[in-house]
Every structure is written in structure tokens, then in C-alpha cells.
Structure 1
Amino acid sequence: MKRPVSTPKHSLNRRSLVVGALQLGFAGALAARLRHLQITQADQYRLLAEENRINIRLIAPERGEIYDRNGVFLARNEQSYRITLVKEDAGDVRKLLVQLAQLITLSAEDIERSVLETQRSAPFLPVTIIDRVSWEDIAKVAINAPSLPGITPEVGLSRHYPLGPNFAHIVGYVGPVSDRDLNRSEDPDPLLRIPRFQIGKVGVEAKYEEDLRGRAGAKHVEVNAQGRVMRELERREGNSGRNLQITVDAGLQNYVQARLGEESASAVVMDCNSGDILAIASSPSYDPNKFVRGISFDDYGVLRDNDHRPLASKTVQDAYPPGSTFKMVTALAGLEDGILDPNARVFCPGHLDVSNRKFHCWKTGGHGQVNLEQSLRESCDVFYYDLALKLGIEKISAMATKLGIGVKHNIPMSAETTGLSPNKDWKLINRGSEWVIGDTVNASIGQGFVLSSPLQLAVMTARIASGKNIQARLIKAQAGATITDPKPGSLGLNENNLRFLRRAMYEVSNNRRGTAYGSRIIEQSMRMAGKTGTSQVRNITESERRRGVSKNEELEWNKRDHALFVNFAPFDAPKIAVAVVVEHGGSGSATAAPLARDITLQALYGDQPPLSAYPTKDRDKIKKQQADLRKTLPRLERFQRGRV
């Protein structure tokens, strides 16, 4: 009989100890975890037990601000109150909005728009119901928050343009993101999906949108079952947009805008040496702040239907026949080619017969014998008709391009036109017909197919004044760092030819027979050299010429000639170039030249010019004009930042 095998006691005890230790460790860990859950995190789980949840919400960055060359605010951010709604926390959105409308003023349109925006947006994104509300309305909503799930009163930032219409065409404005804006990118910034988030729509605001916008931040918030935010758990700040400083001088810009008044006109002032744009104004203008807040249908209709087109940035967007201001191009092309002797004379009987057609000079009786200087001074057309026949369109077109006509200058303003410096190939491709000799004759005096913007005319004048390849520049600094552009190189033109052309332009303004003599500058150190221009917008028939051409003042406004003037000053050491275009203004000498003279003096003096700079006959008129303008000009010290 076998005896049972006994188990050693020490073996049994070791196994028991191991098992016991494991059981004890598990029990201890469980107890510690229970203590952590029940005591340490009791509040958090009590909230979660009440159906609380965590939402992630984007934090819109502060938009970069825009200043003038001296640090004056042009676009800034202002604190404003708004009321937002988060769909996933709100339940019946329409019912909730109707309830909210009993507390604050909320139109039926606001309700419908908000409902539509919540349907189009992600359920966790806040939708702005109403912006720029009063503190009293914010307080009403805050007090009634428990009965308004998903609705939150907030403090945010709204864009404001302190100088309003004076910089509307340059700075532009911001507005809500549209479907079109979203479709421009395959992977749009999440910020753009926030309902009613605002981005740049036109002008510098649009061209530098990504730099000005910045990057979004995010916050994790805990909300209860009613959609009320209980606490903020985590916050990551975004990056503010970068500030911009433009080359424009706010004081000069304000003056130019005021001086243009309600004319349908434009003016550009440019530094002849750096290309900095010191002023670039279109008139009439509009208040960009209305677009930020949401312009009414009636207000927009007034702007849209105005025949002076306040919404158009005429300085860069519109292209006009440059008229006689283009004669410098034709003259310089002839001088550079060697075909034109500046002392040679051409007889002007008042017209030139070309291919069985009469091309008329503006002076019916003609100018008689004229050389180059006299032809520019008195703006004889026949001299340039004759020169163009010898020169040909290709050389004229090439010189126009060299001087900046028919070329985009790529400044950050909306809808910049290319203009047109036509040649034979252009007409064949775009009009499907051969170039004819009459086209060349018309082009020689800036009519026919030739088109230029006021900006291009300013660039042309700056290049003639300096002999350098001046490039237009609108941005001076970004995020505090000055943008340094390469120094402009030479145009490669003969300096003697340029010197002769500048002297002829001086005669336009300072010789008694010059077309702009009436708008001369008396102060010797400030004297300008310029050129008048008048461009036709209608055909004058032979029958009208026989009975007498109608005067501009006898015609409907939109059938009158455009008035143009370009100049640089001071003549001996050019600092600025100016171009002025007055739509349907009639005569360049009577309408555009006085405007350009006043703008030139304001730019050179940096403040109100002394009356002694003006002709004696004009001083009483100028004194009253200056007094009237002072009443309309804003005091810039109110908008001075001090440091950029």
C-alpha cells in the first residue's frame, strides 16, 4: 500500500505569499483609483454625469492694423459686443431666436439669416446672430442665460476705418466670407468657416489678406446639457496678423481727396526718386465702414447708380485716352530714334491730310511754324501727326511701354488695369484687322486705341523727370520691418533728349503762351514742368466742324472731353510727379491744371502753401478755398499711433 506524497510546507507558503501579494496589490490599485475618481475628480464627473461635454472652439486672431507712412491709423480694430449661437447646444434654433427677440431688437431678417447660417455651418461652430449690440442688450442676455441654451454674449473686435472715404479705394474694407471665397482654395483656413468671419474684400485688405488675418487659436470649454459654458479647460492663443505701413501720407491724401471734391476725378502723387506713392485719390468716394457693418440695399443702390462711380478706384482701375499728355512719348521716341531734330520746324495750318482724310489740330487756324518746344508748349497736334508718319507705331509703342504706359505696375489695389500701348500685332490679334496709317496718326496725340491709367501717367512723368526706371511702390513696411526695394536703374535714354523734353514741359507752365501758364507756380524754387491734355470721348463730324464745334459746356456731362494734366516739381531738382484726370472735365488747362498745381504745392510745402506761391490774380480765390478746405480736413493727431 502506497503512502501519500506529502507537500513541503515551505513550498505551499511561498505560493500563498505570491498570490496574496498580487491580490493585495490589485486591491490597493483599485482602491486608489476609486479614491481618485470619487474624491479627486468628483466635481468633474458629477458635471459629466449631468450630460456635460467638452467643445473645441476656434479663437479668431486679432487682425493686423494698417498705418500711413507716418504712423497714422488707417485700419484698426475696435472692441464690440456681439451675440453668438452654437447649434448643437441650442435645440430648436428658430424657437430660441424668437425667444431672444423678446429681449433685444432682432429683425425677422436677422432670424432667417441666422437659421440659414446654422444649417450651413458645423454644429459646434458659433454663429454670430447680431453684432455691435449695446451693453444693455449684452446684460439682458447674460441675465437670462439659463433659459437661452447655446446663446452667448461675447466681446470681440470689429474693423474700423478712422479716415473713412479718404482711404476707401486704397485700404479697401473687410466683409463676411462668401462661398466664392471658400471655393478659391482647395483647403481653406478653418477660420473662414466661422459664420460671418470677415476677410479683406478689396484694396490692401484683400491683397494682403493672409498676412493681415493671422492664425487661429483654440479653446476647450465644458458645457452642460443646456449648452451653457461651465468653464474653460484649456486655451491656446493664435498669432495676430501682421501690421502694414503704406507709403501714402495721410495729410496729403486727405487734402487731395478734399480738393477733388465731388468731381468724377482722380489724382496720383509719386516720389520721383523712390517711386513711393504719396497720395492716390479717386473722387467721389464712399464710407468703407458701411460695408463692414453690412451696407443696406438702399445705400448700396445709391453708390451703384451714381454716374460718377464712387465705388471705382479710378487711379488704377480706369484707363483713359491720355490725349496730349502722350505727346512726350511720341517726341521722345523721335528724339531717341534720331529722326526728330528739336530745332526743325513743321508748318501747322490747322489740319493734316492723310489718306484722303483731314486730321485736325485743336486750334482751327493752326499754329504756323513750330519746333518741338513750341509744339509742346502750345500743344500743336499737326507737329505730332507729321512726326508719327515718319516714325511709325512700333517705335511709339515701344517708348510708351518703356515709360510705363500699357504696363501693369502691380501695386496692391483692386482691379488694376493694364492700359494699352497698341501696335500692329495687337490690332490684328484683338480686332482682326490690319493697322492703318490713320491709327498711327491718332495714337501720336494719345487718341485712338491708346489707353492709360492715372497711375501710369504718374509713372511716365516720374521717369521723364528722373531718367530712371521708377517703380510704383505702395507698401513701406510689414510687421515693423521696412521693405527695401532695389534702387531704380537708368532707363537707358539719352540725357540730352530728356533734358530738352523737360525744358519744353517747363515752358508749358511758365511761358505766357504755354497752355498751363494760368496755373503756374510763382515761387521760383517750387516751379513745375507739366503738360496739359484733353481727350475726346465722342466723334466730331465734318458737318459739326463746318457749323462750329460745340463747346464742352453746351454738351451733356458724359459727352464732354476728359481733362488731364501731368507735371513734376521742382523743375531744377524734381521731388514729386503728379497726374490728374477729371472725367468729362472739358479742358486740361482750365480744369485739371489748377488741381494739379494746388496738389503739387501742398505736397512740396507739406502744409498749407503761402499765398505768395500763387499768381496774384488767384490769391483771393485761393485764400477762400484754403479756408473752406480746412473745415473739412480731419485732425490727424487723433489717429496717430506714434510708433509702428
Structure 2
Amino acid sequence: MRRTARDSDESARRITRRALFLGGAQLAWIAVLGARMRYMQVDQAEEFRLLAEENRVAIRLIPPERGQIFDRNGVLIAGNEQNYRVVITREDAGDVEAVLDRLSKVIPLSPEDIERTLREVKRRSAFVPIVVADRLSWEDLARVSVNAPALPGVTAEVGLSRHYPLVEDFSHIVGYVGPVSESDLAQIENPDPVLQIPKFQIGKVGVERRMEDALRGSAGSRRIEVNSVGRVMRELGRQEGVAGADLRLTIDAGLQNYVQARLGAESAAAVVMDVQTGDLLAIASAPGYDPNLFVRGISSTDYRALMENDHRPLSNKSVQGAYPPGSTYKMVTALAALEAGVITPETTVRCPGYYESGGRRFHCWRGGGHGPVNLRRSLAESCDVYYYDIAQRVGIDAIADMAARLGLGQRHDLPLSAISEGLNPNKQWKLERRGQEWRIGDTINASIGQGYVLTSPLQLAVMTARIASGRAVVPRLVMAIGDQDQPVPEAPPLGLSAAHLAAIRDGMYAVMNIQSGSAYSSRIEEPTMRLAGKTGTSQVRNITAAERARGVLRNDQLPWNRRDHALYVAFAPHDAPKIAVSVVVEHGGGGGAVAAPVARDIVLQALYGGLPPLTAYPSSQRNRIESQRRDLRLREPSAAAPQGRTRA
């Protein structure tokens, strides 16, 4: 069939369009190739020239500067200092063992250093720099730089290392940093690449660990030119990382130093808390330790000494310790009974020196008894029988509910390690955990803070602050992250009767300020700063009937670890509370004789903002207090002046 002229014209137009499209595509492709050739031959000529000369470009991570930590007034607690170190990169070094052997003739390297480096080299990627030695002197660093041509893959660097200028004062709060371990990496779902850098340090305990994400920052990178023998020729480009955020804590460094010094060589803990805001002004645990030892790599001798010390210096007793609260718990029992309506402040209980229940005698600490006592006197003189009696009337469940309301048996959310929840027992707890029914004797023991009840010094401070304020105050440790102030947690009313709280406070005032009070000798003479407190002594051993018959042994007749714990809680001033304090001295003996004087001194230091005048103390104690001050190892205020960032 013959094509018409119209069909021929249409076919020609189609061919023409296809030819134009194909021609255009070819021209575009040629243009792209030309542009790429120009980019490679002109724009990138220098870099390809370097590659042609057996040089190459490498990427190196820049560890971020770790955020610093300050106290509430800007005093540096944890900072960074320059650290000279030497690193080796396997892909640049070639024969790593031979290079290390040459390096050992330039700077001191032990066989252990070389063996550790070889292990790290095998474990890490070829491009990851391995730290061979750090904390070198300037002279060592200079010798490495001079011998660089003979040391391929070896680089001398100036980095940053963590430093804790206040040493023991903040060891249990801030903690310390250390190299990233395999167990650290295993706990992180998507590890930051910077964590792969050997000897890169992260927080291990305390605030350093719990605030790691904020403190670490983000890594930077640099492009460097490396020649054929692995020597760094020059830096081609750098992208700075983002430094970690600085933290400002609620702690007052001056007060913290005083509290730590006042606890001295005791195995003890103390917490000071702002009654209105919940700010923790001091959290001390004694004895302390030097966290700088862990940053530098603690020796086995030093670590063994810390582990074998029976005073447990590595434990933060202020939040990790769980102790029977003893008579400091009596306010809980009294408030539960008052709120339940089973007693009034005027209700009287006769104390003959013991309480009989189920054929068993529960003894008061005063063998001859207190006679008839009401709420105020029961607190002032710490009569046990009064609480045995009212506990039976109100029951353990109501007591446990009141304890929870006052902050006991709770793990308060703070950026610290291993915070204890304590133990706030009730009938259901014993049935579930022990498989046993709750007994009358359990309630009697719990009423005076013995038996199953366990609390931490932190919880006791929270309890005291809530009694003083009538509000559900929550403890706070971080005041600001970077430039962002952290909100003060809302403290709603406890919902307790104002009259009942007033009666408890009045009893605590009597503890300190009437002659028969259990802590009268630790009173404050300054009328505007009078204390309201409660002593406590908790047994750590059972007293048998035979021992009671022949006479109970005094604490000073017992080995240290079998003596009673000494406890004390207080708030001040009694009529306008500002601070709450708790003190626990492990195996210290009586709370009134041992813990109360320590707390009184801490309260005065906090209220005066420094050493108080001797006139704040009873006149008979002033010479002793003056002598005691001379023995305290207090830090000079200028020794911890605020510091800025230090960049390498």
C-alpha cells in the first residue's frame, strides 16, 4: 500500500523531533563531563597533586570540650585542664610495633603501655587514633615533634583532661569520669562515634554520669594532609564541635566544705536543704576520696585501700545509705495518730519504763520510765512507751501512709548514683515480701523507727523540710543547664492540720530549748536562730534478756561496728524555717551527744553564711568551739575562685 504525502510529512516530523531530543541529550551529557573535568583538573588540582605525590587527606574527630560544673555561686567544681598526649594511627604507621619501639626511645614507655596500645590497635578501626601516653611534660611533647619524620602515624596533641579542684568536698556529688569501657558501650543503643576514641572519658558516677548527655557535647572534625610516611603535613580544614553545657548546682561550695570538714574522720553523712525551694545546699558523706585519682588511672594500691576501708569512702551515704531512723521517726507516728483522731496533743500516756503486749515487754530507753507524758514531753524527752501505745491505736498502715506523705520510702529523682528508696513497711509489704502476717511487735518496733523501717539522710532532710513548711517540698540539685535556669518544683500543701503540725514543731522546739530536752546541750543561744529538732539512736544489734538483766553494755564498751547509729534532724529558725538538716553518724552512739552538735554547727554556718560568732553558742562551750575551729581543715575562699572555659 502506497504512503500518502500526508503520512510521509508526519513521519519526517517525528524523525526530526527524535533527532533533536537525542542531540540535546548528548550535548547535555558532554557539558556535564566537561564541568566535572574542569572541577577535577582546575578546582581540585592541588588536592590531586598531593595525592599524586603519595600524600593523602584524612579525617580526624575532635573530641568536644566537656561542660564544666559550678556551685550555686559560680565556684568551679569540675573543670578541664590541658593535657599533652601522644597518639598513633594504625593506617598511617604501618609496622605499629616497630614505631612504638622507636617511640619508647624518645619518651618513657613501659612494656605495659606498649602492650596496651597494641591491644587497642587490634581492637579499633585502622583510622582511629590510639592514645599511647598522656599527661606528658612539654619537653616530652617537644621530643616527639622533633622526631616526627622517624615516627610515622604518631602525632603529638594537646587535649583536655577533667580536673576536680575541690578534691574530696564534691567527690560523692559530682563523681568522676573515666575511659569508655565495653560495658559502657553495651548499655548505649546507638553510641556516639566519639565514644570509640580510646581513652575518651565519660561520667562514671554521680552528676558526671547522670548528666552525661548534657555535659559531653558534640564532636567536631578536621581534614589533615598526611604524607607517605604518615606525618601530618598540615590541616586543610576544621569544623569545631559543640562544647558540652555547663551545669550550675544548688550546692554552696563554702557550706559543703564546712560540712565535710565538720564530719571529719567519722563514717557519717549530712544533708542541708532549703525548706522553701527544696534546693540542696550541702550533701556530704564522710570520709571522702580524691576523684582525680580515677581520672588519671587509680593504682591498685590506692583502689585497694579505698575498698578495704571499713568507713566505705566510695559510698555516698547521704543518698545510698539506708538506716533505721530511730526516734527521728516519732514525728511520723505522732502525726499519723493526730490526723486519725486517736489522740490530741494533750493526750497523756503513763511510761513505767516498759510496755507490755502479748506477754512481751518492750522497753523504754529510760529504765525507770518517764511517768505521765503528753506529745510535747514525749518528743522533748524521746519517751518510747508513748509511741508504743499510740502506734497500737492508729495501726501500721496509717503510719506508713504518713511516712510516704512526708517523703520516706521514696526514691527522690536526683542526678546521683544509686539513690536508696529506703523501706516503708506495712501489712501488705510483709505478706508479699516475707510471706508472713504483720505482728503487734512489728508495729511497736516501727513506731520508734526500728524493725523493718529504713531511711536515708536525704529522706530525713525531706521529711524535716515538709514538717517545717507544711508543703510537699521536693529536693533539687541542678539549678541551671547552660543558660537555662531549671524550674523550682511546685510544693503543694501536705493537707495536714495546721494545728497538728504546730504541735509537732513545738515538741521539736522543746527537744532543743528546755532543760530536760534530749539535745538541750546543742541549743543555739541566738534567739533569732533557735533550732527545732529531734534526736535519734538506732540499734544495730539485738539486746538479749540476759544482757538486760546484768546491765546493757554502753556503746564505748562495744566494738565500733556494733555501736548504735547516731541521728539528728532539725529545722531553723524555729519560728520562720529556712533550712532543714539531717545528720547520721554510723556507730556514733547517742544522737543527742554525737549527731546533734554536728547539726547545730552546720545550721549556724548556713544561717550566718560563714563561721558564726561564739556568742551563738552556750557560754560553757565557747572555748571548746574555738579550739575545734582551729582543728577544722577549711578551704580558703580564694582557693576555688570561678574560672572560665579553657580551650586547647
Compute the TM-score of the two structures, normalised by the length of structure 2.
0.93
CA distance in 2, matches of 1:42, 1:271: 67
Query: Residue 204 of structure 1: SS of its match in structure 2?
Result: helix
Deviation at 1:36, TM superposition (A): 7.9
Q: 1:544-590 CA deviation, whole Å, 9 max, x = no partner?
A: 00000000001000000000000000011000000000000000011
Q: 1:302-336 CA deviation, whole Å, 9 max, x = no partner?
A: 00110000000000001000000000000000111
Who is 2:203 aligned against? 200
CA distance in 2, matches of 1:547, 1:98: 75
Who is 1:594 aligned against? 597
Query: Residue 473 of structure 2: SS of its match in structure 1?
Result: coil
Q: 1:636 to 1:270 in 2, by over 3 A?
A: farther
Q: 1:73-117 CA deviation, whole Å, 9 max, x = no partner?
A: 001111111111111111222222122111111111111111111
> Which moved further from structure 2: 84-93 or 312-321?
84-93
> Which moved further from structure 2: 295-304 or 182-191?
182-191
Matches within 5 A, 1:444-523: 444-523=447-526
Who is 1:626 aligned against? 629
Matched, 1:164 2:176: no
Query: Residue 632 of structure 1: SS of its match in structure 2?
Result: coil
Q: 1:201-248 CA deviation, whole Å, 9 max, x = no partner?
A: 111111110010001111122212211112222221111111110000
Who is 1:640 aligned against? 642
| Among candidates 54, 58, 65, match of residue 57 of structure 2 | 54
Matched, 1:89 2:92: yes
Deviation at 1:446, TM superposition (A): 0.2
Who is 1:244 aligned against? 247
Deviation at 1:46, TM superposition (A): 4.0
Deviation at 1:40, TM superposition (A): 7.8
Q: Is the 8 A contact 1:336 1:493 kept in 2?
A: yes
> Which moved further from structure 2: 73-82 or 215-224?
215-224
Matched, 1:367 2:370: yes
Who is 1:331 aligned against? 334
Q: Is the 8 A contact 1:83 1:153 kept in 2?
A: yes
CA distance in 1, matches of 2:62, 2:313: 36
Q: 1:520 to 1:188 in 2, by over 3 A?
A: same
Who is 1:127 aligned against? 130
Q: Is the 8 A contact 1:72 1:636 kept in 2?
A: no
CA distance in 1, matches of 2:579, 2:321: 22
Query: Residue 157 of structure 1: SS of its match in structure 2?
Result: strand
Matches within 5 A, 1:544-623: 544-623=547-626
Q: 1:20-73 CA deviation, whole Å, 9 max, x = no partner?
A: xx9xxx9xx999969984x88665444312322221111111111100000000
Q: 1:282 to 1:486 in 2, by over 3 A?
A: closer
Deviation at 1:638, TM superposition (A): 4.0
Who is 2:69 aligned against? 66
Deviation at 1:276, TM superposition (A): 0.3
Q: 1:76 to 1:361 in 2, by over 3 A?
A: same
> Which moved further from structure 2: 551-560 or 90-99?
90-99
Matched, 1:259 2:245: no
Deviation at 1:485, TM superposition (A): 2.4
CA distance in 2, matches of 1:521, 1:31: 87
Q: 1:34 to 1:414 in 2, by over 3 A?
A: closer
Matches within 5 A, 1:72-221: 72-221=75-224
> Which moved further from structure 2: 119-128 or 87-96?
87-96
CA distance in 2, matches of 1:146, 1:40: 30
CA distance in 2, matches of 1:505, 1:277: 22
Runs of 4 or more, structure 1, over 3 Å off, are 29-37, 39-46
CA RMSD of aligned residues (A): 2.1
Output the amino acid matched with 1:495. A
Q: 1:144 to 1:496 in 2, by over 3 A?
A: same
Who is 2:276 aligned against? 273
| Among candidates 233, 249, 257, match of residue 230 of structure 1 | 233
Who is 1:9 aligned against? none
Output the amino acid matched with 1:557. W
Q: 1:33 to 1:493 in 2, by over 3 A?
A: closer
Q: 1:588-641 CA deviation, whole Å, 9 max, x = no partner?
A: 011000000000000000011000000111100101112222x53233464224
CA distance in 1, matches of 2:132, 2:40: 42
* Paired residues, number: 618
CA distance in 2, matches of 1:111, 1:130: 9
Matches within 5 A, 1:8-23: none
CA distance in 2, matches of 1:565, 1:274: 22
Q: Is the 8 A contact 1:568 1:578 kept in 2?
A: yes
CA distance in 2, matches of 1:633, 1:41: 60
Matched, 1:358 2:358: no
Q: Is the 8 A contact 1:79 1:157 kept in 2?
A: yes
Output the amino acid matched with 1:640. P
Q: 1:469 to 1:42 in 2, by over 3 A?
A: closer
CA distance in 1, matches of 2:300, 2:375: 55
Q: 1:243-298 CA deviation, whole Å, 9 max, x = no partner?
A: 11000000000000000001000000000000000000000000001111110111
Q: Is the 8 A contact 2:257 2:634 kept in 1?
A: no
Q: 1:41 to 1:343 in 2, by over 3 A?
A: closer
CA distance in 2, matches of 1:628, 1:593: 19
Q: 1:167-202 CA deviation, whole Å, 9 max, x = no partner?
A: 010011110001111011221111111111100111
> Which moved further from structure 2: 317-326 or 428-437?
428-437
Output the amino acid matched with 1:454. P
Matched, 1:418 2:424: no
Query: Residue 146 of structure 1: SS of its match in structure 2?
Result: helix
Q: Is the 8 A contact 2:277 2:489 kept in 1?
A: no
Deviation at 1:531, TM superposition (A): 0.2
CA distance in 1, matches of 2:440, 2:293: 51
Who is 1:409 aligned against? 412
Q: Is the 8 A contact 1:519 1:594 kept in 2?
A: yes
Output the amino acid matched with 1:365. G
Query: Residue 469 of structure 1: SS of its match in structure 2?
Result: coil
Q: Is the 8 A contact 1:251 1:636 kept in 2?
A: no
Output the amino acid matched with 2:270. A
Q: Is the 8 A contact 2:76 2:640 kept in 1?
A: no
Query: Residue 440 of structure 1: SS of its match in structure 2?
Result: helix
Output the amino acid matched with 1:181. D
Q: 1:181 to 1:32 in 2, by over 3 A?
A: closer
Query: Residue 534 of structure 1: SS of its match in structure 2?
Result: strand
Q: Is the 8 A contact 2:566 2:586 kept in 1?
A: yes
Q: Is the 8 A contact 1:258 1:633 kept in 2?
A: no
Output the amino acid matched with 2:137. S
CA distance in 2, matches of 1:413, 1:524: 37
Sequence identity (%): 60
CA distance in 1, matches of 2:64, 2:170: 24
Deviation at 1:118, TM superposition (A): 1.2
CA distance in 1, matches of 2:206, 2:65: 19
Output the amino acid matched with 1:246. L
Query: Residue 498 of structure 1: SS of its match in structure 2?
Result: helix
Q: 1:559 to 1:346 in 2, by over 3 A?
A: same
Query: Residue 215 of structure 1: SS of its match in structure 2?
Result: coil
> Which moved further from structure 2: 544-553 or 103-112?
103-112
CA distance in 1, matches of 2:501, 2:636: 40
Q: Is the 8 A contact 2:323 2:455 kept in 1?
A: yes
